[in-house]
Every structure is written in C-alpha cells, then in structure tokens.
Structure 1
Amino acid sequence: MVYDVHTVRAAIPGLAPDSARFDAPGGTQTPRPVVDAIAGTLLGPLANRGAQSPGERAAEAVVGAARAALADFVAGDPRGIVFGRSATQLTYDLSRTLAKGWGPGDEVVVTRLDHDANIRPWVRAAEAAGATVRWADFDPATGELTADHLAAALSPRTRLVAVTAASNLIGTRPDLPKIAELVRGVDALLHVDAVHYAAHTAVDLAALGADTLVCSPYKFLGPHLGVLAARPEFLETLRPDKLLPSSDRVPERFELGTLPYELLAGARAAVDFLAALDPTATGSRRERLQASFAALAGHERSLRDRLEAGLAALPGVTVRSRAARRTSTLLVTFEGHEAAEVSRRLAERGVHAPAGSFYALEASRHLGLGDGGGLRVGPAPYTTEEEADRLLEALGELLG
C-alpha cells in the first residue's frame, strides 16, 4: 500500500499553505477533478434525461455513471442508488414511507450516539404513526455502543433500528454486523447512517447488514448531495409519495424532481479520485477503492496516534474519543477553557478546528457536555503530520 498525502494535497486548490484544517467531518475540501467534472457538465449540452438530443443523452450518461460509481463505493447495485439533496432529506423521506406500515404497538429503536439526522426523522415518523420509540444508550466512559446496548431495546414489536456506522462526534464505530444479526432476530429493518463512516472506511452494504444506508459525498471530497443505498428488491416493496407523471421505476420513484446532473458528475469524480489514493492499486474500481481506503486508514492511524500522544502531554485536556474501534476524529474538552473559545483562538493562528455538538445533541448530552460539546479535531485525506504538530503547538501555547 502506498499513500502520498502531498500528492493528494496538490490536487486540492482550496488548501491554503498558511492554515491547517481539522474541520473535515463537517465537509471536505474539493479536488480539482471534481470541480472540473461539475464545470464540464454545465459547460456541455444538458437537458432533461432522454435519448433524442445531445443534452438529453448527456444527462442520461451522467446519471448512469454516478449510479455505477456510488454502487462501487458502497458495494451495492446501481439500481439501488437513490440521490437526494442531503442524507437528512433522504432519511426523512424514507422514514415517512416506512411509517405508512407502522401503527400502535410497533416500536422503533434509535441510539443516543447518533447524529440527530438519524434520530429525529424516525422519532417524528413513529409519533405520527402512533408507534413507540425506544432508546439505546452508549457507555459515556468508553464511548462504546455495543450489541448488548441494542439488545436491551429490542423486542418482537421492533420494526426498525436506526444506528450510526461511526459517530460524527467521537468517532465510535459500533459492531454493525453483530447488531444486524440481533435486528434480524426480531425480523426488523436496519437503517445505517454512514455519513461519517464513509469518509474513513470502504463501505460494504451487505457486510454491514444494512437494509438501507445513507452517506454524503461532500464528506469524502465530493459535492453537496445525499445518497441512499439499498437492495433494489427492497426498494421495489416501498411506495413513496411522488408526482403522478414521474417515473415509478426504482430508484427513480424516490427522486423528487430533476436531479442536479452537475453534482452527480462531481460525485462520480470524487469516487474515482478516492479510488486512486493508492496509485499502485489495480483491478476494478471497487478493488481500487478498497486498497485506497486501506492506505488511507494507515495514514489516519498515524495521525491519530500523533495527535493523541501530543494531547496527553497537555495540561487539563480530556479526549472523549475512547472506543476501541473508531475513526481518526477526536473530541476534546479543556479544564478551565470553553471549547468554543479555544476554537476561536486557534482560528486566529490559522488552525481550524470547530467546536460544538455538531448535531449529535443526544451524544453530547449523554457525555455530560450539554449542548456545547467540545472541540472536534477531524483529519482528512489531505491532513499532514506537520499540520498535526501545528495544532498541538498552538494548543500548547493557549493552555500553557
């Protein structure tokens, strides 16, 4: 495996040489090939999808290429790839569709580890259907969400379990295959939020045991849109609200209105960029993605180890990211210093690490941090060891 972070950085024009960015969990910077794909689509002939004019054929080709790329990205089927404005929007749409079959006595399980986008849509849908919401806690001391935590919330009345593949706040990666086995045992559905996970690990829809899964390309070097992935056979069983003349085919029946073709082209380009992170990788795009994510994981482990060692040497610093399996994202709090103030003072030094709960409100509260959360340090594929050292040096000056 080969990983050259400087080659990655050279392809990303938004990276300023006088700043260090640790805000990737909120959205990554954009490589030039992604920008070029977006611009090229808009500069060429473009129309609503069809087979008659050059613009129609161009739109059709863009959609097909994007579905194929994202299917490779999640190890799924192109016919199971749904595009939307955001993962939040797609989750709300899915929750309303599934809730048509729920009623009093049915139960939906959500977790306190999750981003609110994988909590509130299910809570609201359950309330509208008269179903019951049950909560699965995580261990605030370790950050672990285990299969036992989920098992305590399951029953024969469970219809759906919604759980994150990786916490956007503290990085925890639950054992989803084991959780999926428990969910299957009560004949329920498993919906997985892979928005944070997909930026760090090769997604495998079937291996995770997910019936449905969402991710967001702008978290992994792509443009702003959302992706829902599922087996086409499962999507065929669902009847979402749609316009009468719009297509009833899967996956088109779930896509409301005209798709943003230029963003789909950018998403395809982002997948191809990720597949080339390990320049020595060969084989199919899926195989190259797996090799590249393995190389990226090694780079991120090195960065995380460096950051954790440096943070441990600073006075009054508590790292809240403690799970055995987790991403490189670290949530940090400070004795005698508000995280928001530390973030502001870091920004004055050209180091960008935001503070907050980042919509993981339940997780922040469960950790005892209220709604304020902490300072989130989020490495990206373009983060260097020099930037990690710069962050640690700045924190040392602020806390010294």
Structure 2
Amino acid sequence: MAYDVSAVREHFPALEEGAAHFDGPGGSQVPDVVGEAVAATLLVAIANRGSVTAAERRADTVVAGARRAAADLLGAEPAGIVFGRSMTQLTYDFSRTLAKNWGPGDEIVVTRLDHDANIRPWVQAARSRGAIVRWADFDPVRGELPVDEVTSLLSERTRLVAVTAASNLLGTRPDIPAITEAAHDAGALCYVDGVHLTPHAAVDVTELGADFFACSPYKFLGPHLGLVAASPALLETLHPDKLLPSTNAVPERFELGTLPYELLAGTTAAIDFLAGLVPGTGPRRTRLLTSMRVLENHENTLLRQLDEGLAELPGIVRHGSPTRHRTPTVLFSVDGVSPETTYRHLASRGVNAPASSFYAVECSRHLGLGDTGAVRAGIAPYTTEADISRLLAALR
C-alpha cells in the first residue's frame, strides 16, 4: 500500500514556513485537524465532567473519547488510560506511588539507554525508601541494549524494571517482550517508556508485556500532554496521594485536578489522523495498525537514504551503528566541529536538526559525548526525500 506523503503534508500549516523538520523526536508538527479540535473544544460551553448540563456532558464525552482513542492506538483498555501534564510528571507520580511498597533491600533496575524521565524518578524514589538501584549498560559501539544486560541484574528482590522501548537519542529498540517476560518471572513490574517508539511503529502493550506504557501525544502529532496505559486491575491495587473529595475510581484517581479537555480532544484528533494516513475501513484499531505499518515502511525507506548519504560524507561521525531494528533516528557529529555549530549551520539553511543530549544524559555520557551530546535527525510522517537531500547538502 502506497504512502502519499504529499497528501499528508497538506494538513500541516507549519510546513508552509519552508523548513525541513528533523526535530520531531523533540515534538512533532501538528496537523490542522488537531488545532481545529483544540479550538472547537475551547469555544463551546464546557464544564467539569458530569451528567446534568450539556456543558458537563460535553466534557465527559471528550474524556471518554480520548481514552478510547489512546486505547486503540496502544492496544490497551480505555479504563487503563491515565492522562497527565507530561510523561515525566506521570512517571514521577507512579514512582512515588509504587515506592510506597518498597523497603530496604528491595531492588529496581534502570538502563543507561533511557531518557532521564525513565531513570531519575525511579532512582529518587528508590533512595527515599532505602531500595537498591541496579544499572544496565548498553553497548556504546552499537548503541544496543542486550537483553542479558537487564536480566542478569534480576533477583527475587527486584520490584521494578524501567526500560525504554526505543532510545530517543539513538533510535535503537531493545527486545522489550524478552525483558518484560524475564522481569515478570522474577516477580517484578515493568515500566516501559514508549515516548519515542509510539510515533513510528504499531504498538500493542499486551504483546510488549508492559505493565505500564508511557507516551506523549505531542510526539505523535498531538498536543502537549502525557499518558500512561496500564491494566485497570493493576491500577486498582495502587493508591496514589490525592485530594480527599476527589474520586477513587480508576483511572481518575491518578489524574490530579481537572483534565485539559481541549488537549484531550486534540489527542483524539491526532490519533484519528494517524488512523487515516492511508485509506482504509473498519475499526479504528485496525486502521491504525495498517497506517502505522505503512508509515514505518515509508520512514525506513527515508532512513536508508539518510544512512547512505551520511556514509558518503567525509568527517561525519555516527554514534551507534546503523542497525535494522531502530526508529528513523540518527545521532551524529561533524569531526572537528561542535554540535552547536553544526546545529546553527543547518538552521541557517532551513534544516531543523538540533544538538543536545535531549535529556538522555546517561546515554550521552555512556557514548562518550558528555552532557553536550550530538546532532539528532529524526524522520516524521511529513518528511520527504527532498528533506533528506537538503540535510545532506547542508552538511556537505
């Protein structure tokens, strides 16, 4: 099935400014239908959720619709979708809640491949309870996290494994099903950071084995907020700190304060847009699986073009080997040129590819890049072959 990138691009007003955007891993551009959904929700009567007035019912409909949409995207249950301000905020909330059951001698496992949002909340929560932190290292040459680097750290005292589904710095994708299976065999829960995977691949949280799967709509064409998918039965066993009069129902007990209805409407619109990337019929989940697989093929074709083009340029230093099983993300430096200088040079030519450690500071340090990091180029649903050529020409 063909992917019509020109038709997709017509829905992105931001692209009219003319830049070639490789900054999607930090936040994608937004299609018109998302902005329209946000504006429409702000411009009608709306109130706290309820069933008496039209405004109350409208808010309830928006929330329920967003839960169903997110569940369709991730292969989860609507009653297990928790919304929050960001993935970072939600992970801190869950770390504090889970840590209530930890004590001295308990262990957690984190990896150096991860974004700090899936490291620091767990490290800090463990230390507050006297628990031990075990660190899994990745191969800095290939940029990959072998399964046994994680599983070798598991014991009967392991309470949680926190691991990324795809490195936001390198794009490499660990074998999450193998890691979660081993964690479960050890009696541990697994919290998976899916922020960088979700925009690029079809996701099924059940197949991944994730007890918690966190992602960010603003990385997959939506508004700025975060969400976590988990089993409603698991959520029922957890008791976060909350206000006395707020509901104890799942998943609402984890959502502190009034939800941003306009952003939830925008999230639903973004997921519907993803479901319609290629023509199709049937349930939204079915259309999403088809669209995301076609999108993945399109992005991988562009990634090969970028990999081959970078390999032909002298002075380009790649970080992490170009492996098959990764998202369309490239981390590189120009020999003898600071990443900041390269970033500014590209920007001056209308190519947006920023330089940083992008909050994956442990990963950057393990690669020998310190806190400075390198230049990251990420491919998105609106990226074209012409964009890739512009990036390569600017580097040349």
Listed one character per residue, the Cα deviations across residues 349-375 of structure 1 (whole Å, up to 9, x for unaligned) are 111100010000000000111111110
Offset at residue 335 of structure 1 (A): 1.1
Matching of residue 240 in structure 1 with residue 240 in structure 2: yes
Listed one character per residue, the Cα deviations across residues 84-113 of structure 1 (whole Å, up to 9, x for unaligned) are 000000000000000000000100000000
Listed one character per residue, the Cα deviations across residues 209-247 of structure 1 (whole Å, up to 9, x for unaligned) are 100110000000000000010000000000000001001
* Residues matched between the structures, number: 395
Offset at residue 202 of structure 1 (A): 1.4
Deviates more, 1:38-47 or 1:117-126: 38-47
Contact 2:19 2:350 in 1 (8 A): yes
Give distance in 2, aligned partners of 1:175 and 1:195: 16
Matching of residue 313 in structure 1 with residue 298 in structure 2: no
Deviates more, 1:78-87 or 1:330-339: 330-339
Listed one character per residue, the Cα deviations across residues 267-307 of structure 1 (whole Å, up to 9, x for unaligned) are 0000000000111x222101100000011011111110000
Deviates more, 1:265-274 or 1:148-157: 148-157
Give distance in 2, aligned partners of 1:121 and 1:162: 10
Give distance in 1, aligned partners of 2:49 and 2:151: 46
SS in 1 for 2:58: helix
2:273 equivalent in structure 1: 273
1:144 equivalent in structure 2: 144
Listed one character per residue, the Cα deviations across residues 32-58 of structure 1 (whole Å, up to 9, x for unaligned) are 110111111111110010011111010
2:153 equivalent in structure 1: 153
> Aligned Cα RMSD in Å?
0.8
Alpha-carbon spacing, 1:324–1:145, altered in 2? closer, same or farther (3 Å) = farther
- Gaps of at least 5 residues in structure 2 are none
1:232-381 equivalences under 5 Å are 232-279=232-279, 281-322=280-321, 323-381=323-381
Q: Structure 1 counterpart of 2:361, which letter?
A: L
- Gaps of at least 5 residues in structure 1 are none
Give distance in 2, aligned partners of 1:292 and 1:199: 11
Q: Structure 1 counterpart of 2:318, which letter?
A: V
Contact 2:214 2:229 in 1 (8 A): yes
Give distance in 2, aligned partners of 1:132 and 1:37: 46
Contact 1:80 1:231 in 2 (8 A): yes
Contact 1:71 1:77 in 2 (8 A): yes
SS in 1 for 2:332: strand
Contact 1:99 1:125 in 2 (8 A): yes
Offset at residue 333 of structure 1 (A): 1.3
1:184 equivalent in structure 2: 184
Q: Structure 1 counterpart of 2:329, which letter?
A: T
| Identity rate, percent | 61
Give distance in 2, aligned partners of 1:51 and 1:382: 40
Contact 2:140 2:320 in 1 (8 A): no
SS in 2 for 1:198: coil
Q: Structure 2 counterpart of 1:287, which letter?
A: T
Give distance in 2, aligned partners of 1:17 and 1:258: 35
1:16-31 equivalences under 5 Å are 16=16, 18-31=18-31
